[in-house]
Amino acid sequence: MAGNFANFFAIIIGSAIGLFLKNFNMEKYNDTIIKGMALCVMVLGIQGAIDEPNVLLMIMSIAIGGLLGGIIGIDEKLNDFGSFLDRKLNFKGSKVSKGFVTATLIYCVGAMGILGALDIGISGDHQKLFAKSILDGVSAIAFASTMGVGVLLSAFPVLIYQGLITIFAVFIKDFLTFDVIHSISNVGSVLIMGISFNVLGITKIKIGDLLPAILIPVIYYGFIINLF
């Protein structure tokens, strides 16, 4: 689990630096920085999604995942928790929920986080999450300097989420073939693109409700294909 904890502390440290920089009149640069980061996130999403050979599975995963997530109400619960943090913490000049929800989704659904956590569970390889830790730490500086302390708090759900994927991978590693992992990564990349659209204000997609889509390739390849 060393890679997961490295990622956790990288977000904490990067966010702390960003919060320190926030004191130096960053407000006039906030909009430009946030939208610049959103463009970077969009590029990462496009790169990860365009090489999916099984486009039908990707579409099916998003559709079924969105239905399941909507029934569960994941996005609403995530935003409710962010609002709860707003009420309890009440940091002056900082909307905790926006930074918390945005950063949590970006750090959780990216391909490196999912694949890195899977690598630890399958083979004990921490290299992807160590690399992600550096990237997340640097990006946390920019996000926290503009969106506030909510970015720092996102380190906790990231640790839990990636930790659960690692534990999950230990038990189902026989099902996690190249095709499964590749499809999971591409679905995650589609969600990353959705986050960038939200940050840019192009539209409002309930990314939280789409999170179950990441599990559909496991079900498809691990059970349906094997059965039929």
> With bands split at pLDDT 50, 70 and 90, how would you rate the model's confidence at 61?
very high
Q: Is the pLDDT of residue 226 over 80?
A: no
Q: How far is CA 226 from the centre of its chain?
A: 30
pLDDT band at 139 (very low <50, low <70, confident <90, very high): confident
* Predicted confidence (pLDDT) per residue in 167-187, tens digit: 988 887 777 888 888 888 888
Query: How crowded is residue 141: how many other Cβ atoms within 10 Å of its Cβ?
Result: 19
Q: What is the mean pLDDT of the chain?
A: 82
**Which pLDDT score, from 0 to 100, does residue 152 have?**
92
pLDDT band at 92 (very low <50, low <70, confident <90, very high): low
Contact 69, 211 (CB under 8 A): yes
What pLDDT was estimated at residue 64?
93
pLDDT band at 94 (very low <50, low <70, confident <90, very high): low
Check whether 68 has a pLDDT greater than 90.
Answer: yes
Residue 138: pLDDT band by 50, 70, 90 thresholds?
confident
Q: Which residue has the tokens 């679905």?
A: 187
Domain spans of the chain, in order of start: 2-223
**Spatial contact of 74 and 208, defined as CB atoms under 8 Å apart:** yes
